[in-house]
């Protein structure tokens, strides 16, 4: 595989950076995220977490379930702060 291959497109993290982190001894997708920012961007790891989990599993011999992050954080998709701050308005805005 090419080492400059982009694994996390939002944060532009390459395969090389992921492999370096694994070489340093990280064992989970969460640790890779904290070290490289992979999965911290707009899509919040929806694309790259599975890829990273596979790379980790291959490199370390762990089962995929053990390397995946335990939690996914709210919100599920980006939401305007103005809406987060006023739940009532959001509900009200559906009414014509």
Provide Rg for the chain, Cα atoms.
17
CB-count burial class (<10 Å; 0-12, 13-18, 19+) for 4? exposed
Q: Choose which of 6, 15, 16, 30 interacts with another protein (CB under 8 A).
A: 30
Q: Among positive and negative, which fits the CA dihedral 66, 69, 71, 76?
A: negative
Q: Choose which of 2, 4, 61, 87 interacts with another protein (CB under 8 A).
A: 87
Residue 49 binds another protein, judged by CB under 8 A:
no
Residue 73 binds another protein, judged by CB under 8 A:
yes
**Residues in the site for another protein, rule: CB under 8 A?**
11, 24-28, 30-31, 34-35, 37, 40-42, 44, 73-75, 78-82, 84-87
């Amino acid at each position: 595989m090419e080492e400059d291959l982009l694994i996390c497109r939002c944060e532009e993290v390459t395969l090389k950076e992921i492999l370096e982190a694994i070489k340093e001894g990280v064992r989970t997708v969460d640790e890779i995220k904290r070290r490289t920012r992979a999965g911290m961007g707009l899509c919040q790891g929806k694309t790259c977490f599975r890829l990273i989990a596979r790379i980790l599993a291959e490199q370390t011999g762990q089962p995929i379930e053990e390397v995946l992050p335990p939690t996914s954080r709210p919100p599920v998709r980006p939401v305007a702060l103005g809406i987060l701050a006023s739940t009532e308005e959001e509900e009200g805005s559906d009414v014509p």
